[in-house]
Amino acid sequence: MDFPKLLTDVPKKVENKDLDNILAYTVRQEVINLAGGLPDPSVFPHEQLRDIAERVLKENFDKALQYSPATGVPEFKKEIVSYLSRGLGITGITEDQILVSSGSQEALFALAMTTVSPGDYVFTENPTYYVAVSVFRAFDSVLSGAPIVKGQLNVDLLEGKVKETPPERRKLVYVMPNAQNPTGASMSEETKKHLLEVAERYDLTIVEDDPYSLINYEGKTPRPLKAMDKENRVIYMSTMSKVLAPGLRLGWMVADPYLVKAVTNVKQVIDLNTNTLSQYVAAYALKSRVIENNLENVRRVYTSKRNAMVDELSEVFKDKVEFVKPESGMFVFALFKGVNTRTALEKAIANSVLYLPGDSLYVSDPQYNSARLNFTYPSEDKIREGVRRLKKTFY
Amino acid sequence: MDFPKLLTDVPKKVENKDLDNILAYTVRQEVINLAGGLPDPSVFPHEQLRDIAERVLKENFDKALQYSPATGVPEFKKEIVSYLSRGLGITGITEDQILVSSGSQEALFALAMTTVSPGDYVFTENPTYYVAVSVFRAFDSVLSGAPIVKGQLNVDLLEGKVKETPPERRKLVYVMPNAQNPTGASMSEETKKHLLEVAERYDLTIVEDDPYSLINYEGKTPRPLKAMDKENRVIYMSTMSKVLAPGLRLGWMVADPYLVKAVTNVKQVIDLNTNTLSQYVAAYALKSRVIENNLENVRRVYTSKRNAMVDELSEVFKDKVEFVKPESGMFVFALFKGVNTRTALEKAIANSVLYLPGDSLYVSDPQYNSARLNFTYPSEDKIREGVRRLKKTFY
């Protein structure tokens, strides 16, 4: 069989060699993995989830084990509405504005397929979340990125990029205002307002990807763009993956009902509906405040790990490293003076430490001295040892 | 906001008004729904699944609640290999030939995105599974169908259709050899061999969608095409939805490792990975033979329901109805003499009975007197009453 002749160019367009590498080396016990993006399983509220799973399968087994509506289980959508309102100040949302998805990744994919034609522009932060880039590339969009300077998106440069493009080609602005992946940067209120103004001026639709805003380390939860959005201009995406558990594979999109209906048509042909059992488990968890009650613990564990990483980076690398100390999220994005992190990767692997080279996270003008470092999964000892192995690798 | 201007033509291409209708009327208690395709929740082994969920979240919570490999949880893939071998005679499969997906629907979607370029031909049975049609249409393939005559695909006509198309445009042959949706027909061994011969002659790749072969009612499990495939020419898809529970949202694809890798690239940008918790639950269920031990019960309940439907149809409609008595699966596909099931739908709804009009299940030459009738979800009383309401509607 001549399998290559069967393929379109899509698998190549979306292929991610770094991701494959990460997975391949993750299984090697001696390797300290700072490249991934996994939560620490010790913070999963597994006993509560066990109780909940038992209750769901006793009280609601007929519905929880069945197919469910493509837009999501009504009980779960109702709880999402309440959760967004009480935790994040996103109010006035109705259930017909919500689409439940298999992680927010699937909502992003379905939204891109619903909106992006080849040659359409998607404006992003630069660098940005690499799997989002793959999604937009899968639909042949042109990516145009504006830099994050000292932790703030340069909105003026973004506006400049927008101006340069034909109005009918301006499709989406994809941003992570809180704990941006990879930079860990969070937009100030001023930056958020500026971005909304520009979006209004050019009639742009913003996609706000917000997995992390409740996972914060300085005692305050930042306000999502969506909470400041008066025109349904912001399509908001979030997930249970960081606040509860990624294994439940649940995310959602909040948007105008017209868009929700269109994206649901597409989501339906992708997988009919999102995992029903998980949706019931998450609905029960939200209703009984398992997530909110667990957040303090998550923040405590991750604050300590973040501190271990930034302290060790500063101590070991001194003035050879540059980064924004993340106020939330899971990553430190570091620039190492005079280092090419792409070419150094092989040596790092020989030294049993893995990071995500930053160059492939840029949509243009890659910084070859950058690396994304995860601090949530490894233990504090491993974080410190991992940073020392980076030193040995780079200098 | 001008939301319509944001959209591509994809949501329209994949829209399914019948599906929307079914969902809308399903919530009306008085309506007898013969249109859907739901299993009977009374056959879900919910107590065993409760025990298993508890064990998974005790013994493996750290892995079951975490992200997992895009191709699937290794423990689950291992169990699938064994299950295919002992239950269906599909032997010699290795784990790198398996991609786990969110229902087999997602595998089909990702495969189509991986292989189908606009203008490529996909050959199908006519009528065929309507959500598969939507998937292929989403990627602008040309659908070419060969009829099922007296329960057997007319392979000669399929060959004729293949011959008419440019070789480089022949992409996939999509079939359901066992309990075809919607017709309920199952291919004889002879038809299967003939189809494989034609595929070999024209170097075609076959997609075998096989959700039902273990849900059979005549005491024997049919042999999948895949069990007769010596060249990895058959891409096999199946699911936990009918043998265990759809709410777990699990399916898989079996194919050559080269194809699995390409489709995995695409699956990864759709949703990163399939629900981890469900995969562990299903792995435990397979390992402890929960599915095999439950099959007898499923078959008993559905055989009785099928008999109720075919008996009532024959009794009520006499020579005005034509159908193949399904040996497995969930549907009877009936042709009603002189009736237009599309225009009669409104009256049926007024009579509180719902069916799926058959015309939209054809890729060409629709039969307007056809309807797909589900017998697994409604009770036997409702099945009989539903058939009587159809009589009142049609004649």
DSSP string, A142-186: EEEEEEEETTEE-HHHHHHHHHTS-GGGEEEEEE--SS-TTT---
Please tell me the distance from the alpha carbon of residue B217 to that of residue B302, in angstroms, as a whole number: 8
Residue A53: CB partners within 8 Å, gap ≥ 6? A277, A281, B50, B53, B54, B57
CATH tag, A66-289: 3.40.640.10
Chain A residues in contact with B374 (beta carbon < 8 A): none
DSSP conformation letters of A303-335: HHHHHHHHHHHHHHHGGGEE-PPPSBSSEEEEE
Q: Do A11 and B114 lie within an 8 Å CB cutoff?
A: yes
**pLDDT tens string A133-162:** 999 999 999 999 999 999 999 999 999 999
Locate the domains of chain A by residue range.
3-44+293-394, 66-289
Q: What pLDDT is recorded for position B28?
A: 73
Per the CB < 8 Å rule, is B106 touching A262? no
Chains A, B: CB pairs < 8 Å: 257
* Selection from A222, A128, A234 nearest residue A180 by Cα: A128
Tokens in use for B327? Answer: 């040996």
Residue of chain B whose alpha carbon sits nearest to that of A281: B277
Nearest to B67 among A38, A232, A233 (CB): A38
Joined together, the tokens standing for residue A287 give: 């209703």
Tokens linked to A229: 């959005």
Closest Cβ–Cβ partner in B64, B117, B270 for A247: B64
CA distance A346 to chain B (A): 23
Collapsing DSSP to helix, strand or coil, B337 comes out as coil
For residue A242, the 8-state DSSP code is T
Task: Give the architecture (CATH level 2) of B60-289.
Answer: 3-Layer(aba) Sandwich (3.40)
Amino acid at A340: N
**How far is residue B313's CA from residue B307's CA, in Å, rounded to a whole number?**
10
What pLDDT is attached to residue A193? 98
Give the strand pairing for A121-126 and A142-149.
parallel
What is the rounded average pLDDT of the residues A51-57?
A: 97
Q: Cα(B200)–Cα(B194) distance, rounded to whole angstroms? A: 10
B102/A66 touch (CB, cutoff 8 Å), yes or no: no
Q: What confidence tens digit (pLDDT) does each residue in A264-308 have?
A: 999 999 999 999 999 999 999 999 999 999 999 999 999 999 999
| Nearest C-alpha neighbor of A45 from the set A316, A295, A377, A299 | A295
C-beta atoms surrounding B199 within 10 Å: 24
Beta-carbon separation of B249 and A171 below 8 A? no
Report whether pLDDT(A24) > 90.
no
Chain B nearest-CA residue for A59: B46
**Residues in chain A within 8 Å Cβ distance of B282:** none
Nearest alpha carbon to residue A264 among A273, A23, A153: A273
User: Which residues make Cβ contacts (< 8 Å) with residue A117, sequence separation at least 6?
Assistant: A139, A140, A171, B8
Whether residues B2 and A203 touch (CB distance < 8 A) is answered with yes
Cα separation, B193 vs B214, in Å, equals 20
Indicate if the pLDDT at residue A23 is higher than 90: no
Taking the C-alpha atoms of residue A192 and residue B199, their distance in angstroms, rounded to an integer, is 58
Mark B357-371 as b/e (b = at least 16 C-beta within 10 Å).
bbbbbbbeebbbbbb
Q: Which residues pair with A100 in a beta bridge?
A: A252
Task: With beta carbons under 8 A apart, name residues in chain B contacting A276.
Answer: 246-247, 249
- B3-44+293-394 classified as CATH 3.90.1150.10: yes
DSSP state of B324: P
Question: A6, B259: Cβ pair inside 8 Å?
Answer: yes
Q: Determine the residue among A1, A5, A8, A242 to mutate to test chain B binding: the one whose Cβ has the most chain B Cβ atoms within 10 Å.
A: A8
Q: Which residues of B touch A16 (CB under 8 A)?
A: 265, 268
Interface with chain B: mutation pick from A54, A263, A271, A298, highest number of B CBs within 10 Å:
A271
Rounding to the nearest 10 degrees, give the CA dihedral for residues B334, B336, B340, B344: -80
Q: Which amino acid is at A203?
A: D
Contacts of A233 in chain B (CB under 8 A): 1
Chain B residue with CA closest to A101: the answer is B271
Q: Is the peptide bond before A127 cis (omega within 30 degrees of 0)?
A: yes
Helix (H) or strand (E) holding B44: none
Q: What is the pLDDT averaged over residues A46-59?
A: 96
Q: Report the residue of chain A nearest B23, measured CA to CA.
A: A69
User: Quick check: bond before A326 cis, omega within 30?
Assistant: no
Q: In the block, which residue shows the tokens 């709880």? A: A79
* Structure confidence at residue A26 as a pLDDT band (50, 70, 90): low
Per-residue pLDDT, averaged over A53-68, amounts to 96
Distances (CA, A) of B116 to B111, B119, B257, B276, B394: 8, 8, 19, 29, 40
Q: What percent of chain A has pLDDT over 70?
A: 99
Minimal-distance CA residue of chain B relative to A234: B1
Give the mean pLDDT of chain A: 96
Interface test with A, best of B2, B5, B6 (most A CBs within 10 A): B6
The ipTM (two decimal places) reads: 0.97
The vertex-A227 CA angle with A224 and A228, nearest 5°, equals: 100
Q: Which residues of chain B have pLDDT under 50?
A: none
What is the end-to-end Cα distance of chain A in Å, rounded?
A: 49
Contacts with B96 from chain A: Cβ below 8 Å: none
| Residue A58 CB neighbour total at 10 angstroms | 12
**From the CA atom positions of chain A, what is the Rg in Å?**
21
Task: Give the single-character DSSP code of B117.
Answer: P
Substitution target from A203, A270, A374 for chain B, most B beta carbons within 10 A: A270
Residue ranges of E strands in chain B: 32-33, 98-101, 121-126, 142-149, 152-153, 170-175, 205-209, 234-239, 251-254, 321-322, 331-336, 353-354, 356-357, 370-374
Determine, for residues B115 and A273 on separate chains, whether the beta-carbon distance falls below 8 Å.
no
B240-280, pLDDT tens digit by residue? 999 999 999 999 999 999 999 999 999 999 999 999 999 99
